[in-house]
Chains A and B, each alone.
Chain A
């Protein structure tokens, strides 16, 4: 049996009276790609932000390598979370910095390399995501959406993270560019041997980048299984969501 890289138990996060996460239980095995699907506003991003420490959960535990980061000393929790690289939905590139500095930001922040060396490293990583050296000096605002995602991916993999998070990696891209980004994600995760969690609405993308999948519904994981079974599972909630049916249990829940 594979080792568990991230173990989540009873995770709860409420915003006022709204129960966004209401007892999440989820295991992500080392080296596997987990895709979390679910409707808008169901707490997928909150789940990722909770693991990253950007949101403080109200209850539950999040273990990384067997250590509960919610209870661990701050320094240890920070070290564990430093294993995580994140591709944000809109890229979240620093628009005051050129592309190469975005990619090498983590290296420069940790003061491990000189600026000249960091630029060389950034150019190498940009090449891995299919971007040429001519892009390195541009401002993020000069890039297309697809290129911004690639730069975001380059930034996420620059520190060779053991864990990677992808927040809606194909949102806002045309189907071809979406497939290109998915290929890059699969390639990068495979090369680094990382464990990954992706959240997405895009079923084609989910099946391309995920080994396993989980459905987040009403604050809990209502279904989990192989990503290949997303479109064939008899689970009525997943079936309605993945096939985009207007009628079914999800709509009934919304009408309450």
Chain B
């Protein structure tokens, strides 16, 4: 009997996982198709852009600044053992533009805007607001989901661009004012090793992460059930799923963009 129970549990778990992936796949295709098909809702796009981009500015800016500062400090501690202190500026700028900028901004925005999206859509679901949209000749996918996907794809690269600048500035502040590098030398070292591809690859990653954050926020909110507890679960799932996917896809994208 216990064996049968275990098999039943395993079967239910596999079916649940397949159902989740199938639903997510259909939701993704539907969401993307609505991004390209009119009618468009500019006010909703603007509102989502503000939510994801503008209101995430402080947290992304602070994260990037301190990450650049810590990176410079830690690099100095390690590199000074090998007499390679001059590489600090290069390490900071390459780390920030290629990896830390997009990943940390993605994680921060996921925790802030992704959670907010899931909570808002989840509340709309459990209070029948999404059904009400349908009765008012408005496709909820088009009105709620497509604008957020679009805003995510546009807003995160802009945030990452800012994070890149502030991360490098953090490294500069520590390098020049604490570690004693000359201002000109630090900047020269920074820009001599920086290539356009480093920045562009980070922005491509950011666009993908922005899409993922909006997708997981919308998907989990849209399918939430069961009142306040359901909305809470949806919010947690949105953040966890987006964070894990960001880290996993970061590896895949790095492999694709920098493989030799």
Residue ranges of A at the interface with B (Cβ–Cβ < 8 Å): 49, 52-54, 78, 81-82, 84-86, 88-90, 92-96, 105-106, 109-111, 155, 159
Q: Is the CB of B129 within 8 A of A105?
A: no
What are 27 A-B residue pairs whose CB atoms fall within 8 Å in the complex?
A49-B131, A54-B134, A81-B135, A82-B137, A84-B135, A86-B132, A88-B128, A88-B132, A89-B128, A90-B127, A90-B128, A92-B127, A92-B128, A92-B129, A92-B131, A94-B133, A95-B123, A95-B129, A96-B47, A96-B120, A106-B138, A109-B136, A109-B137, A110-B137, A111-B39, A155-B136, A159-B136
Most B-side CB within 10 Å, residue of A52, A81, A92, A105: A92
Instruction: Enumerate chain A residues within 8 angstroms of B47, measured Cβ to Cβ.
Output: 96
A110 to B137, CA, bound (A): 8
Please report whether the interface of chain A is mostly helix, strand, loop or mixed according to DSSP.
Answer: loop
Shortest beta-carbon distance from B11 to chain A in Å: 15
Q: Is the CB of A92 within 8 A of B132?
A: yes
Residue ranges of B at the interface with A (Cβ–Cβ < 8 Å): 39, 47, 120, 123-124, 127-129, 131-138, 143
Instruction: Enumerate chain A residues within 8 angstroms of B143, measured Cβ to Cβ.
Output: 109
Instruction: Specify the chain B residue showing the minimal Cβ separation from A158.
Output: B136
Instruction: Enumerate chain B residues within 8 angstroms of A95, measured Cβ to Cβ.
Output: 123, 129
Please report whether the interface of chain B is mostly helix, strand, loop or mixed according to DSSP.
Answer: helix
Instruction: Specify the chain B residue showing the minimal Cβ separation from A78.
Output: B137
A90 to B128, CA, bound (A): 8
A52 to B137, CA, bound (A): 11
Instruction: Enumerate chain A residues within 8 angstroms of B135, measured Cβ to Cβ.
Output: 52, 54, 81, 84-86
Shortest beta-carbon distance from B221 to chain A in Å: 13
A92 to B128, CA, bound (A): 5
Q: A86-B135, A89-B128, A105-B136 are in contact. List 15 more A-B contacts (CB 8 A).
A: A54-B135, A78-B137, A82-B137, A84-B135, A88-B128, A88-B131, A92-B128, A92-B131, A93-B129, A95-B129, A96-B47, A105-B138, A106-B136, A106-B138, A109-B136
